[in-house]
Structure 1
Amino acid sequence: LASAKELMRINGTTKSDLANHLGESISGAITIRAFEEEDRFFAKNLDLVDKNASPYFCNFAATEWLIQRLEILSTAVLSFSAFIMALLPQGTFSPAGFVGMALSYGLSLNFAFVVSIEMQCKLANQIISVERVNQYMDIQSEAAEVVEENRPLSDWPQNGNVDIRDLKIRYRKDAPLVLHGITCRLEGGDKIGIVGRTGSGKTTLIGALFRLVEPAEGRIIIDSVDISTIGLHDLRSHLGIIPQDPTLFQGTVRYNLDPLG
């Protein structure tokens, strides 16, 4: 049971990686074909399938081992009961009584077997759920929404000048850098195009402007204000973004353009 619970947890984790890779491959099929990377993605998919199949097979084997042990126990109890009933004096039980005792033993052991399997599955699912909750509890909270001693002016930004200085970003402490020391200046009113292959960090750079991910090093200054020193609400409420995946709500065009009024 202990092995089966751990294997079920590993199975759930590897299945999540497989489903995530499959979803990414489907959504980015056009890009994958454009760069002729079908073989690499297909090979990675097979690798993830193998990683998921291994704990699944071991979990299946552990369940079969439990089934075998319970069936052996059931057979032993039934055989012992039949042997004892055969040794009892004739007339102690009626033929219907013999049949009833045999059925009751079999049904009780089968019921215990089914209950044990269900309890194993429920317990394993609860363990996986608790581990996921613990992972979310360990996520570091975002910065404060408002920093009272350092609030920007109500009409900030006036010009829209963006000064990026040696910006380095990684998504985890032990992860490699996604942006490697970017330095540039964007003048207000200019139309800037950021070009690069998939995974080069275009979305990360835009996310850094909204502090969706905090810089490992470097600064972003908008109209002489370092955005890392102000609150998230003051920053995000003064900037606007149109996502690349459009979402329309029910209602009028006005409501879709300005849902908060």
Structure 2
Amino acid sequence: MRLESVSRSPIYSHFGETVTGVSTIRAYHVQERFIDESDSKVDKNQVRKYPSIIANRWLATNPGLVGLSVSYALQVTQTLNWLVRMSSDIETNIVSVERIKEYSETKQEAPWELPNSRVPREWPSEGKVVFDNFKVRYREGLDLVLRGISFTIAGGEKVGIVGRTGAGKPV
């Protein structure tokens, strides 16, 4: 009630000043500004008055009905809290299911050991790496990022790989 009373005073002051200066307001054609300002002050007052009206309506209601309403309101709040918590848990746990689905759809790699491709025990006989018409892309369906590169790295040579950060250089 105190807040409502404090917000009512500016309405009266503004109204009195507007009536006193009505000829000046009309001369400058600013009626809309004063109407908007008055509406704003009345709205602020009503925001503070509304809880008082609601409280009076509650107090005029049957006490048993008030108790029942408050009891149901508390149960609804608890149910909504539970619902939000369960929804969050489901969202968190569904990530595991999504990962399993993604992994199950991933193309399988070749087996670690192929039955018909055993290498000799003394392999490699010399230390060198040969790239012959090497082509590579980041993943299937994308354009090639290296196109037909051929080079040889002799045993004992050191190789440096240069490129921008995030360009996909091997570690």
Question: Which residue of 96, 99, 118 corresponds with 1:132?
Answer: 99
Matched, 1:163 2:123: no
Higher relative contact order (CA closer than 8 Å, sequence separation 6+): 1
Q: 1:73-222, aligned counterparts within 5 Å?
A: 86=62, 95=63, 97-98=64-65, 100-187=67-154, 189-198=155-164, 202-203=169-170
Partner Cα separation in structure 2 for residue 200 and residue 107 of structure 1 = 56
C-alpha separation in 2, matches of 1:128 and 1:139: 16
- State the alpha-carbon separation in 2 of the partners of residues 115 and 182 from structure 1: 60
Letter of the 1:135 partner, please give it. Answer: E
- How far off its partner does 1:200 sit? 5.7
- Verify the 8 A CA contact 1:163 1:184 in the aligned structure 2: yes
Partner Cα separation in structure 2 for residue 128 and residue 144 of structure 1 = 28
Q: 1:179 to 1:200 in 2, by over 3 A?
A: farther
Q: Is the 8 A contact 1:194 1:202 kept in 2?
A: no
Q: Deviations over 1:145-181 (max 9, x none)?
A: 1112210011110112322111111131122323221
Report the equivalent of 2:3: none
Give, in angstroms, the shift of residue 138 of structure 1. 1.7
Q: How far apart are the structure 2 equivalents of 1:202 and 1:114?
A: 48
Identity %: 31
Aligned to 1:250: none
Question: Alpha carbons of 1:114 and 1:201: their partners in 2 closer, same or farther (altered >3 Å)?
Answer: closer
Structure 1 residues 6-45: Cα deviation after superposition (integer angstroms, max 9, x where no partner): xxxxxxxxxxxxxxxxxxxxxxxxxxxxxxxxxxxxxxxx
CA distance in 1, matches of 2:137, 2:80: 50
Aligned Cα RMSD in Å?
2.6
CA 1:116–1:108: 2 relative to 1, 3 Å: same
Count of matched residue pairs? 111
Cα pair 1:167 1:182 within 8 Å, conserved: yes
Task: Give the drift of 1:101.
Answer: 2.0
> What is the rounded CA distance, in whole Å, between the counterparts of 1:166 and 1:200 in structure 2?
21
Structure with max Cα Rg? 2
Quick one: structure 1 residues 171 and 197, their matched pair in 2 at CA, closer, same or farther if it must change by over 3 Å?
A: closer
**Unaligned segments of structure 1, at least 5 residues:** 1-81, 87-94, 204-243, 245-261
Which segments of 5 or more consecutive residues in structure 2 lack a partner in the other structure? 1-57
- For the residues of structure 1 that align with 2:71 and 2:125, how far apart are their CA atoms? 84
